[in-house]
Amino acid sequence: MASALPTSFPAEVVPQAPEDPLFGLMRAYKADPSPNKVDLGIGAYRDDNAKPWVLPVVKKADEIVRNDPEANHEYLPIAGLASLTSKAAELVFGASSPALAEKRVASVQAISGTGALHLGALFLAKFYKIAGANRTVYLSNPTWANHHQIFTNVGLPIASYPYFDKSTRGLDFEGMKATLRDAPDGSIVVLHACAHNPTGVDPSPEQWAELAQLLKEKRHFPFFDTAYQGFASGDLDRDASSIRLFVEAGFELVVAQSFAKNFGLYGQRAGCFHYVAAPAPSAAETTTRVASQLAILQRSEISNPPIYGAKIASIVLNDPALFAEWQDNLRTMSGRIIDMRKQLRSKLEELGTPGTWNHITDQIGMFSFTGLTEPQVLKLREEYHIYMTKNGRISMAGLNSRNVEYVAKAVDKVVRETQ
């Protein structure tokens, strides 16, 4: 046998990485033979039968794509499908946004929200170098875990600002403001536009206005992540109001937009990245320059974005009747989730489960930070086959009319036993 060459990647250099905790959880759930098992870890919508839901409007748009005699599998342009990116921008900023009229927005199709975040992070890593500006990226504590890796991978330092108040299970607004006030001027601040993941806690409109004021004074750079527009409240405009407030306040900012949840297009990887220039005589020219560099970054990363999901979303966004139907589908999803929140809270309150449970309905979106401790989470998994992440986050989409009572009773028992 020829002598084997030693690897260039020994364990000291390439250590075995831990499994992504969410995927580990999913695997444990799948392997559990219990008929009572409940998956509250999933980050995807499920209908009342615990099944993935293909939005009826997406089915229709899919039919249109498949029956189009002109359809082919050619490359999209580098910046993506223009009929999608233009409507995607209107969706976020509002069709009558002065930023759009003044050509202050550059939009690029991206590999869903993650790809948009990555493209934005890469752009900032390469170009956010204003003299004296800090390049640290401030993330909420906690945040969607991938944010840490996405910004670290492009070489940007990360820091965190307080977000969740464990005692109220609401927003730690004072802590958040204090840290952002103390942060060096010009820091990058990642903000969840709505339906904060993992807490389900959003600032109120008044708090958003205060944050805009604070970020302006500090010349911080807002980086919005919008993965749940329309999915949170059922109202597309309301779920975009935080971003629109910042645009109206004259910020230069960026937005990573995902169509995974609100279209149920998870695996199709449809999304957009938007850059908005602050109002200025040179804003349109700045936007053109930024767009040209985004195109180069996109080219080197993925060449051109994927076509299929983009076509589906574009058809829906460009057809008034389908758009109305989409809004209806969004209300079905958000309505079911809000209903599950109400049911879980009222069942826990009926049982007299120790503690307060108003946060279940105060929080919004796919996730709720229940306040359950790690030992309680593990007990729920081992004794009741109910799966959630160790931080006590539950996906509301995993609850349905058949398991909500079972979950409430199990939580009640576990909370009492571990008091």
Q: Is 173 left (phi over 0), alpha (psi -120 to 50) or beta?
A: alpha
Q: Is 363 in the site for ligand PLP (CB under 6 A)?
A: no
CB of 400 within 8 A of CB of 49? yes
Residue choice 93, 144, 151, 263 for contact with ligand PLP (CB under 6 A): 144
Nearer to ligand PLP, 271 or 371 (CB): 271
Strand partners, 189: 138, 222
Nearer to ligand PLP, 201 or 415 (CB): 201
**225 part of the active site:** yes
Q: Select from 90-98, 107-115, 175-183, 407-415 the region that touches ligand PLP (CB under 6 A).
A: 107-115
**261 part of the active site:** yes
d(CA 27, CA 374): 19
Q: Is 192 in the site for ligand PLP (CB under 6 A)?
A: yes
d(CA 228, CA 257): 9
Positions in 283-302 near ligand PLP (CB under 6 A): none
Nearer to ligand PLP, 116 or 414 (CB): 116
Q: Select from 106-114, 159-167, 210-218, 305-313 the region that touches ligand PLP (CB under 6 A).
A: 106-114
Residue choice 85, 112, 368, 376 for contact with ligand PLP (CB under 6 A): 112
CB of 231 within 8 A of CB of 395? no
Q: Is 271 in the site for ligand PLP (CB under 6 A)?
A: yes
Parallel, antiparallel or unpaired: strands 164-165 and 393-395: unpaired
Positions in 229-268 near ligand PLP (CB under 6 A): 258, 260, 266
Q: Is 113 in the site for ligand PLP (CB under 6 A)?
A: yes
Parallel, antiparallel or unpaired: strands 164-165 and 170-171: antiparallel
d(CA 314, CA 319): 9
**37 part of the active site:** no
For 214, residues 6+ apart whose C-beta sits below 8 A from its C-beta are: 177, 180, 181, 220
Cβ 6 to ligand PLP, closest distance in Å?
38
Please pick, among 53, 144, 208, 357, the residue that the annotation labels catalytic: 144
For 387, residues 6+ apart whose C-beta sits below 8 A from its C-beta are: 25, 28, 29, 32, 37, 38, 39, 40, 41, 381
Nearer to ligand PLP, 172 or 225 (CB): 225
DSSP 52: B
Nearer to ligand PLP, 139 or 348 (CB): 139
Cβ 367 to ligand PLP, closest distance in Å?
8
Q: Select from 28-36, 61-69, 112-120, 209-217 the region that touches ligand PLP (CB under 6 A).
A: 112-120
Nearer to ligand PLP, 266 or 323 (CB): 266
d(CA 20, CA 41): 13
Residue choice 114, 134, 343, 389 for contact with ligand PLP (CB under 6 A): 114
Longest dimension (CA), the chain: 73
Site residue total, ligand PLP (CB under 6 A): 13
Q: Is 62 in the site for ligand PLP (CB under 6 A)?
A: no
Cβ 213 to ligand PLP, closest distance in Å?
24
Please pick, among 87, 218, 261, 379, the residue that the annotation labels catalytic: 261
User: 392 is written with which tokens?
Assistant: 């006590």
d(CA 351, CA 360): 15
Write phi, then psi, for 99 (nearest 5 degrees): -60, -35
Residue choice 197, 233, 334, 395 for contact with ligand PLP (CB under 6 A): 197
CA dihedral 213, 218, 219, 220 (to 10 degrees): -90
Nearer to ligand PLP, 302 or 351 (CB): 302
Residue ranges binding ligand PLP (CB under 6 A): 43, 112-114, 144, 192, 197, 225, 227, 258, 260, 266, 271
Catalytic residues: 144, 225, 261
